[in-house]
């Protein structure tokens, strides 16, 4: 769904400014970083780094069942972040600073409103939101930065949890997808806001599968989704061709789900069931839209029914469909592998990977991930639940970038010492994962001109080191150097 665009610097060609988003329905897993010898063998080089993180801690009686929701507009360089606050936060895509808020309660004159999902069109001028109000779910379209309600759509989920429903918006904002009529829980429609018409997505005898994802190509010529037979069972992926009048459909029969289009609309990536009793036995397949031929497939692994939800649970095609990103929880390898991998289609050996614990599966977490169609930028919004004994949950928004043109092999010791600094941006205190690598850590802070502004020494024998920066530091971007080698970027707000 081109409901988000990416920017390298602040500008990219229109064809390469698209992101994808999927919910990460992840469960508890134990992390084990691969050994150095293993990394030199079968594990490809690391090509990612951290640009910024944003962390918020809320105390609640119960953690929410869903994690945060995010959307990104590359043209305006804005990240829209719904994390169970009363407002949707708007972050600068470069440094993570909060530059605006959208208070739906104020717009709709009801302070009880809590936004749960957020989507935006390509230039960030239009936003879709799903929110809770008075115990029921609602969804509508808003203008930005005017912050005006464009249209609220009829929606009654009945007894079905709101978490089962997803929306989508096309690149220009002309089309939006969501539940269509009241009392019909699985009846989705595609709304043409220019012509004020609606088209029913599911074919006769079928219904849109709850938790289905929807995805547009860059030129708004196609929409892909997932539908199932109402009575006899069985499902299929459907491509709706929007440039035909009336719309036409291409059906992809098989055990496919969770489809995503390449930016040019010529290929789709799907979750592919490979057997067994699990509903989502791990597997990803890439299909050619014109010929319906399989051009790439990857089968995952699992040691238990729990692992099925971790391996290959997120994927993203490049704009032309020649590359694919997937995150892996591959327990069949000689060491457990928790990371994101990049493949060149049709090759099945990855050529690059992300830092572990960033764009790979997390532990005890739910949330959302988006990756740009040129595979250079990504964002992860997650929620760690504390449960009933510890009624606190932590919400983190993590931003990273990928350089696929110049991969550099990195040691696992370096990986351990380049995990995200948090909070980032910061008001003065930062925490750095360190894993007790040294008894003492000498740290130096440089400003944007390379001038040393602060230096100090702290205990390095702990898992995490905490640095208290000077309260008089001007807002801006700084470089933090640890022991004269490790370097990270910090934003002071």
Q: Rounded mean pLDDT of 223-248?
A: 89
* pLDDT value of position 373: 80
User: Averaged over 471-482, what is the pLDDT?
Assistant: 80
Q: What are residue 222's phi and psi, to 5 degrees? A: -150, 150
Q: What are 156-169's pLDDT values in tens digits?
A: 655 567 777 889 99
Average pLDDT over residues 410-414: 47
Rounded distance between C-alpha atoms, residue 2 and residue 123, angstroms: 10
Q: What is the pLDDT of residue 154?
A: 76
Q: What is the mean pLDDT of the chain?
A: 75
- The predicted model gives 356-370 an average pLDDT of 61
Is residue 11 scored above 70 in pLDDT?
no
Residue 4 pLDDT more than 60? Answer: no
The secondary structure of 418-455 as a DSSP string is TSPPBSBSBSSEEEEE-TT--SEEEEEEE-TTS-EEEE
> Does pLDDT of 427 surpass 70?
yes
Helix, strand, coil proportions of the chain in percent (round to 5)? Answer: 5, 45, 50
Please tell me which of 250-254, 404-408, 440-444 the model is most confident about, judged by mean pLDDT. 250-254
Judged against a pLDDT cut of 50, whether residue 305 lies above it is answered with no
More confident: 446 or 197: 197
Task: Check residue 321 and give its pLDDT.
Answer: 95
pLDDT attached to residue 276:
47
Residue 483 has pLDDT above 80, yes or no: no
DSSP 117-178: EEEE-TTSSEEEEEEEETTEEEEEEEETTTTEEEEEE----TTS-GGG---EE-SSSSEEEE
Span of 112-116, 367-371, 453-457 with lowest mean pLDDT: 367-371
**Separation of alpha carbons 356 and 417, rounded Å:** 11
pLDDT, position 220? 94
* Token duo for residue 351: 């050529």
Structure confidence at residue 291 (pLDDT)? 95
Residue 320 scores a pLDDT above 90? yes
Whether residue 155 contacts residue 198, with contact meaning beta carbons closer than 8 Å, is answered with no
Asked whether 124 and 76 are in contact (CB, 8 A), the reply is yes
Q: What is the CA radius of gyration of the chain?
A: 22
Q: Which of 25-34, 94-103, 112-121 has the lowest mean pLDDT?
A: 25-34
Residue 43: the pLDDT is 61
Phi/psi at 155 (5° precision):
-160, 125
What average pLDDT score do residues 209-223 get?
A: 90
Torsional sign, CA 20, 23, 26, 30: positive
Q: Which of 55-64, 157-166, 292-301 tops mean pLDDT?
A: 292-301
Query: Rounded CA gap, 286 and 302, in Å?
Result: 21
CA–CA distance, 31 with 28 (Å, rounded to integer)? 10
Within its chain, how far is the Cα of 7 from the centroid?
A: 16
20 - beta bridge partners? Answer: 371
Q: Tokens for 375? A: 């595979």
What average pLDDT score do residues 79-93 get? 87
Q: What is the DSSP string of 94-130?
A: TT--EEEEEEHHHHTT-TT-EEEEEEE-TTSSEEEEE
> Would you state the pLDDT for residue 99?
94
State the first-to-last Cα distance of the chain, in angstroms, to the nearest integer.
Answer: 32
The pLDDT of residue 58 is 56
Give the model confidence (pLDDT) of 244-281 as tens digits: 888 999 999 988 888 999 999 999 999 886 554 444 45
pLDDT of 3 strictly over 50: no
pLDDT band at 360 (very low <50, low <70, confident <90, very high): low
Give the range among 219-228, 265-274, 308-317 with minimum mean pLDDT: 308-317
In the chain the domains, ranked by start, together with CATH numbers, are 14-416 (2.130.10.10), 429-492 (2.60.40.3080)
Of the candidates 259, 416, 404, the one whose C-alpha atom is nearest the C-alpha of residue 340 is 404
For 412-439, b/e burial (b = at least 16 CB within 10 A) is beebbbbbbbbbbbbeeebbbebeeeee
Burial class (CB in 10 A: 0-12, 13-18, 19+), 247: middle
Largest CA-CA distance found in the chain, in angstroms, rounded: 70
The per-type count for the chain, helices as H runs and strands as E runs, is 3, 36
Query: What is the distance between the alpha carbons of residues 140 and 448, in angstroms, rounded to a whole number?
Result: 42
Q: Tell me the pLDDT band of 490, cut-offs 50, 70 and 90.
A: confident
Residue 79 confidence (pLDDT): 94
Lowest-pLDDT range, 82-86, 338-342, 361-365, 475-479? Answer: 361-365
Across-strand partners of 23? Answer: 368
Q: Quick one: which H or E segment has residue 36?
A: helix 36-41
Instruction: Determine the pLDDT at residue 283.
Output: 83
Residue 400's pLDDT is: 85
**What is the share, in percent, of the chain residues with pLDDT greater than 70?**
69
SS3 (DSSP) at 413:
helix
State mean pLDDT over 371-391: 67
How far is residue 133's CA from residue 381's CA, in Å, rounded to a whole number? 23
Length of the chain equals: 493
What is the C-alpha to C-alpha distance for residues 443 and 483, in angstroms, rounded to an integer? Answer: 6
Q: Is 187 helix (H, G, I), strand (E, B) or coil?
A: coil
Please tell me which residue, 12 or 92, carries the higher pLDDT value: 92
Q: How many CB atoms lie within 10 A of CB 31?
A: 12
Of 89-103, 273-287, 351-365, the range with the highest mean pLDDT is 89-103
Going by pLDDT thresholds of 50, 70 and 90, the confidence category of residue 214 is very high
């Amino acid at each position: 769904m081109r409901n988000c665009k990416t920017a390298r610097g602040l500008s990219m060609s229109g064809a390469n400014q698209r992101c994808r988003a999927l919910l990460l329905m992840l469960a508890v897993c134990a992390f084990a970083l691969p050994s150095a010898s293993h990394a030199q063998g079968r594990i490809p080089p690391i090509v990612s780094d951290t640009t910024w993180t944003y962390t918020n801690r809320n105390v609640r009686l119960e953690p929410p069942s869903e994690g945060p929701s995010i959307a990104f507009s590359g043209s305006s360089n804005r990240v829209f972040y719904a994390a169970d606050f009363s407002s949707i936060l708007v972050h600068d895509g470069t440094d993570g600073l909060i530059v605006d808020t959208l208070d739906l309660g104020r717009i709709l004159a009801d302070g009880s409103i809590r936004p749960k999902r957020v989507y935006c069109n390509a230039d960030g001028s239009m936003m879709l939101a799903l929110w809770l109000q008075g115990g029921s779910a609602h969804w509508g379209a808003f203008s930005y930065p005017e912050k005006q309600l464009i249209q609220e759509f009829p929606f009654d989920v009945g007894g079905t949890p709101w978490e089962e429903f997803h929306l989508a918006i096309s690149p220009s904002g002309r089309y939006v997808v969501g539940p269509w009529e009241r009392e019909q829980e699985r009846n989705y429609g595609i709304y043409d806001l220019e012509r004020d018409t609606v088209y029913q997505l599911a074919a006769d005898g079928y219904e849109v599968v709850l938790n289905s994802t929807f995805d547009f190509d860059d030129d708004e010529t196609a929409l892909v989704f997932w539908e199932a037979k109402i009575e006899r069972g069985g499902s299929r992926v459907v491509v709706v061709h929007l440039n035909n009048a009336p719309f036409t459909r291409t059906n992809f029969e098989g055990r496919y789900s969770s489809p995503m289009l390449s930016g040019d609309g010529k290929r789709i990536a799907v979750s592919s069931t490979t057997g067994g009793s699990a509903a989502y036995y791990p597997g990803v397949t890439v299909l050619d839209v014109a010929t319906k031929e399989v051009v790439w497939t990857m089968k995952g692994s699992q040691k238990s029914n729990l692992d099925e939800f971790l391996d290959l649970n997120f994927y993203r095609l490049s704009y032309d469909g020649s590359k694919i990103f997937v995150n892996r929880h591959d327990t069949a390898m000689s060491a457990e592998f928790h990371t994101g991998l990049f493949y060149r289609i049709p090759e099945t050996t990855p050529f690059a990977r992300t830092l572990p614990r960033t764009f790979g599966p997390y532990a005890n977490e739910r949330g959302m991930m988006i990756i740009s169609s040129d595979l250079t930028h990504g964002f992860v919004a997650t929620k760690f639940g504390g449960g009933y004994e510890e009624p606190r949950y932590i919400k983190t928004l993590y931003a990273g970038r990928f350089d696929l043109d110049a991969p550099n092999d990195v040691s696992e010791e370096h990986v351990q010492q380049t995990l995200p600094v948090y909070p980032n941006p910061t008001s003065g205190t930062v925490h750095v994962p360190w894993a007790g690598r040294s008894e003492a850590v000498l740290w130096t802070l440089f400003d944007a001109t390379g001038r040393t502004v602060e230096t100090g020494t702290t205990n390095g024998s702990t898992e995490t080191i905490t640095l208290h920066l000077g309260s008089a530091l001007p807002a801006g971007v700084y470089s933090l150097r640890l022991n004269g080698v490790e370097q990270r970027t910090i934003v002071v707000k």
